[in-house]
Amino acid sequence: METSGILASIVISFTSALLFAYLLHWFDRYEKEPFILLAGVFLWGAVVAAGGAFIVNTVLGLGLFVVTGSEAASNLVTTSLTAPFIEEILKGFAVLMVFFAFRNQFDSLLDGILYAGVAALGFAATENAYYIYAYGFAEYGWAGFWELARIRILLVGWQHPFYTAFFGIGLAASRLNRSLFVKITAPIAGLAIAIFAHSLHNTIASFLPGTALIPLSAVLDWVGWFAMLIFILIAMALENREIKTYLADEVALDTLTEAQYQNAIAATRVNRQRAKALFTGHYQPVNRFYRTAARLAIKKKLLARVGEEKGNAQKVEKLREETKQLSQALLK
pLDDT at 1 over 70: no
pLDDT band per the 50, 70, 90 thresholds, residue 240: very high
Q: How would DSSP label each residue in 155-198?
A: ISTTHHHHHHHHHHHHHHHHHT---HHHHHHHHHHHHHHHHHHH
Amino acid identity at 25:
H
Q: What is the pLDDT of residues 120-153, one digit of tens each?
A: 999 999 999 999 999 999 999 999 999 999 999 9
Q: Which of 211, 224, 9 is nearest to 126 (CA)?
A: 9
Mean pLDDT of the chain: 91
> What is the band of 77 on the pLDDT scale with cuts at 50, 70, 90?
confident
Q: What is the percent of the chain where pLDDT is above 90?
A: 71
Distance CA 107, CA 173 (A): 9
Examine the pLDDT at 209 and tell me if it is beyond 80: no
pLDDT tens for residues 257-299?
999 999 999 989 998 999 998 888 889 999 999 999 999 999 9
DSSP 44: I
| Helix, strand, coil content of the chain in percent (nearest 5) | 85, 0, 15
pLDDT value for 315: 92
pLDDT at 212 over 70: no
Rounded Cα distance between 17 and 45, Å, is 11
DSSP element (H, E) containing 291: helix 283-306
Lowest mean pLDDT among 1-5, 147-151, 163-167, 279-283: 1-5
Q: What is the pLDDT of residue 210?
A: 57
Task: Answer yes or no: is pLDDT of 191 > 70.
Answer: yes
User: Element (H or E) spanning 237, and its range?
Assistant: helix 214-248
Q: Where are the domains of the chain?
A: 2-214, 249-331
Who has greater pLDDT, 47 or 2?
A: 47
